[in-house]
Amino acid sequence: MDIVVCVKTNPDLQMVRVKNREAVVEAVPYKLGDLDKNALETAIQLRDAAGGTITAVSVAEGNRKIRETIKEALAMGADSAAVVDDPALAGADPAAVAAVLAAAVKKLPGCDLVLFGEGSTDNYSGQVGPRVAELLGVPQVGFARKVEAVDGAVRCERSMDEMIETLEVALPAAVTVVSEINEPRIPSLMHIMKAKSKPVEEWTLADLGVDAGAVAARREIVSNLAEEQDRKHVLFEGSAAEQADAFVNALIKEGVLGR
């Protein structure tokens, strides 16, 4: 089974701070998205069980650090990688990213299964996987918490409210996975060193036959601010019991607690 895992480089949210309600990402390290690692771990388990190859594919979206972080996918177990980098992709929206990923998958020698994380760590739109499946004309299963290979197909399990749904789709297909599906492996030093010798192809939009105008952003982000917090700066004094009583009374006064 030839598997393509679409991955994205995201800022490490643990290192992002908020200033004047805006996220400050300067000097913040980048890494593969957490759900993308789940998708990659799923691909590794499928390959180990049924054989085949794994190719990690990513769109730079103006992020020059993608070449460093794509090595993380190779160290985890991907056999090769392909990066699409083009100035026209800076600030690309999900529709543009999906169009480029679909073109990249078509350029590869073969692809039986395309895996995605259910959403990205930064925006979590959840649009790219379904859009790519539509552009490729293949069936898509979302929210998979279990994926296994069967003869010429994949069997997926997902939670749907109060029931567990099992779906079987013929290959080629696309699947998006959730975090519960597995625990991504941590690459050893030996695998990190081996990743340096694995092949990484770099493509532009011209290499994929995609017109720059076709990936122009169709959305405008009007605002992206943290929730405004108005602190009351209330100070409780006295013994611990007195402070507790005053705290409860304050919550009652604010309507948070009933009498």
At residue 64, the pLDDT reads 63
Q: Is residue 68 part of a domain?
A: yes
The parent domain of residue 182 ranges over: 2-215
Residue 219: count of CB within 10 angstroms of its CB? 11
Tokens of 34: 């957490």
159 Cβ contact partners less than 8 Å away, ≥ 6 residues apart: 143, 145, 165
Whether 222 maps to a domain, the answer reads no
Instruction: Write down the pLDDT at residue 113.
Output: 98
pLDDT at site 66: 81
Residue 117 and residue 245 in one domain? no
Q: Do 180 and 242 belong together in one domain?
A: no
In a domain, 220, yes or no: no
Cα(180)–Cα(41) distance, integer angstroms: 12
Question: Angle at Cα 33 formed by Cα 131 and Cα 86, nearest 5°?
Answer: 60
The verdict on residue 223 lying in a domain is no
114, 174 in Cβ contact below 8 A? yes
Q: Same domain for 209 and 256?
A: no
What pLDDT is recorded for position 63? 66
Q: Does residue 252 share a domain with residue 181?
A: no
Domain total for the chain?
Answer: 2
Instruction: In whole angstroms, give the CA distance from residue 128 to residue 117.
Output: 10
DSSP the chain: -EEEEE--EEE-GGG-EEETTEEE-TT--EEE-HHHHHHHHHHHHHHHHH--EEEEEEE-TT-TTHHHHHHHHHHHT-SEEEEE--GGGTT--HHHHHHHHHHHHHHSS--SEEEEESS-SSS----HHHHHHHHHT--EEEEESEEEEETTEEEEEEEETTEEEEEEEESSEEEEE-GGG--PPPPPHHHHHHHTTS-EEEE-HHHHT--GGGGS---------PPP---------SSHHHHHHHHHHHHHHHTSS--
State whether 190 and 250 are in the same domain: no
Same domain, 205 and 236: no
28 and 84 within one domain: yes
Count CB atoms within 10 A of the CB of residue 51: 9
104-157 pLDDT, tens digit each: 999 999 999 999 999 887 777 889 999 999 999 999 999 999 999 999 999 999
CATH number of the domain where residue 193 is located: 3.40.50.620
User: How far is residue 159's CA from residue 138's CA, in Å, rounded to a whole number?
Assistant: 22
- Is 105 domain-assigned? yes
Tens-digit pLDDT profile for the chain (259 aa)? 999 999 998 877 778 777 777 777 777 778 889 999 999 999 999 999 999 999 999 998 766 678 878 999 999 999 999 999 998 888 788 999 999 999 999 999 999 999 999 988 777 788 999 999 999 999 999 999 999 999 999 999 999 888 999 999 999 999 999 999 999 999 999 999 999 999 999 999 999 999 988 888 777 777 777 777 777 778 889 999 999 999 999 888 888 887 6
Residue 221 lies in a domain: no
- Residue holding tokens 């952003």? 217
Q: Based on the fold, state whether residues 109 and 12 are members of the same structural domain.
A: yes
